[in-house]
């Protein structure tokens, strides 16, 4: 069946329908990872977005449910150059096309993803529609694309009630703004007793559980939309509990302490982004998935200082808070998929709780 990807600038790509055949309007982004498409599909940070995979062949090792980063797929759509319909992998449980159908994710294969990515890099992230309707009317579609906004996605992806992962070590409260499973797993395998809290849990409730540390997770959408969460983070900041934050959590803590954020032209999404530790000068390869960034020029120097920088474009990749047991990073030290270069940051968090 034919499928069409229509961008808000009027560009139209024709390909083949994969997965669900429902029509969807979404923000179109691209991911440069060569592997890890299942982790991408099950990352809650992609809620409200349709993902273009720049690597040309997707699906060749199938679907291994053990590798899922949450219980379901979150992207609105999936865009690939070539879909491998016959996986070759002893761990494979399913094909990617069956997984997309089961998860009701519409997709399109057979388009020039290199050309699409060049458009998004040159013009910036834009909205688009995936449709199987051959009689689409551009004059009707384009206004709808321009009106679309990603809203309310943190409330959509967060857990509905606390989840406890018992262990014998330090007690960690993990705030779920759209957390990948491997964040909790990375803490749990280090002996931590982890309780995952819904995003809108009051700070008083979290602190009343007497945690040894607080983890702020990744998540989707514009951080400035999370007004209620930012107010609660101000209270967590005022406590003396060690805090480690990733991605959206990093941005929200910055907003809670008076800094600003802005949207990048086309974001950082992939498993091959170099970040530099400002203290040691060492460069690490990191996994990233974000469209917004903390504006370093708005930082209060008495509150926080830059800890990591993106080697490609110089944007902020981490903050260390002055006089506080708080550090935050924009990238994903839990990886999955991606390099484990920065997994040591979880051990640093353990060390903060030990003190």
Active-site residues, by number, are 247, 332, 334
330 is in an annotated binding site: no
33 is in an annotated binding site: no
45 is in an annotated binding site: yes
- Three-state helix/strand/coil letters over the chain: CEEEEEECCCCEEEEEEEEECCCEEEEEEEECCCCCHHHHHCCHHHCCEEEEECCCEECCCCECHHHCCCCCCCCCEEEECEECCCCCCCCCCECHHHHHHHCCCEEEECCCHHHHHHHHHHHCCEEEEEECCCCCCHHHHHHHHHHCCCCCHHHHHCCCCCEEECCCCCEEEEEECCCCHHHHHHHHCCCCEEEEEECCCCHHHHHHCCCCEEEECCCCCCHHHCHHHHHHHHHHHHCCCCEEEECHHHHHHHHHCCCEEEEEEEEEEEEEEEEEECCCCCEEEEEEEEEEEEEHHHCCCCCEEEEEEECCCCCEEEEEECCCCEEEECCECCCCCCCCCCCHHHHHHHHHHHC
289 is in an annotated binding site: yes
221 is in an annotated binding site: yes
251 is in an annotated binding site: yes
266 is in an annotated binding site: no
46 is in an annotated binding site: no
Which residue ranges make up the annotated binding site? 45, 219, 221, 248, 251, 289, 291-292
Name the binding residues for L-glutamine: 45, 219, 221, 248, 251, 289, 291-292
């Amino acid at each position: 069946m034919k499928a069409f990807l229509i961008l808000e600038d009027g560009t139209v790509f024709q390909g083949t329908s994969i997965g669900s055949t429902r029509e969807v309007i979404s923000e179109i982004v691209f991911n440069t990872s060569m592997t890890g498409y299942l982790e991408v599909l099950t990352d809650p940070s992609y809620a409200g977005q349709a993902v273009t995979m720049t690597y040309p062949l997707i699906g060749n090792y199938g679907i291994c449910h053990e590798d899922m980063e949450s219980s379901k797929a979150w992207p609105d759509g999936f865009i690939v150059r070539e879909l491998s319909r016959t996986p070759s992998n002893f761990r494979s449980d399913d094909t990617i096309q069956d997984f997309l159908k089961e998860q009701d994710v519409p997709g399109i294969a057979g388009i020039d993803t290199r050309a699409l990515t060049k458009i998004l890099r040159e013009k910036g992230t834009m909205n688009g529609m995936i449709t199987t309707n051959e009689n689409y009317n551009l004059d009707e579609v384009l206004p709808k694309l321009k009106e679309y906004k990603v809203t309310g996605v943190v409330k959509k992806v967060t857990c509905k009630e606390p989840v406890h992962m018992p262990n014998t070590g330090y007690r960690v409260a993990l705030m779920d703004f759209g957390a990948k499973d491997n964040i909790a797993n990375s803490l749990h395998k280090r002996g931590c007793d982890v309780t995952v809290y819904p995003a809108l849990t009051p700070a008083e409730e979290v602190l009343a559980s007497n945690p040894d540390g607080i983890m702020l997770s990744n998540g989707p959408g514009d951080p400035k939309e999370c007004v209620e969460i930012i107010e609660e983070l101000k209270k967590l900041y005022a406590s003396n509990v060690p805090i480690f934050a990733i991605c959206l959590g990093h941005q929200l803590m910055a907003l809670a302490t008076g800094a600003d954020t802005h949207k990048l032209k086309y974001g950082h999404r992939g498993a091959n982004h170099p970040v530099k530790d400002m203290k040691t000068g060492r460069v690490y390869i990191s996994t990233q998935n974000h469209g917004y960034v903390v504006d370093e020029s708005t930082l209060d120097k008495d509150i926080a200082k830059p800890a990591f920088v993106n080697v490609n474009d110089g944007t902020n990749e981490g903050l260390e808070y002055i006089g506080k047991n708080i550090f935050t990073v924009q990238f994903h030290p839990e990886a999955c998929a991606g390099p484990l270069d920065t997994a040591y940051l979880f051990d640093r968090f353990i060390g903060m709780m030990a003190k």
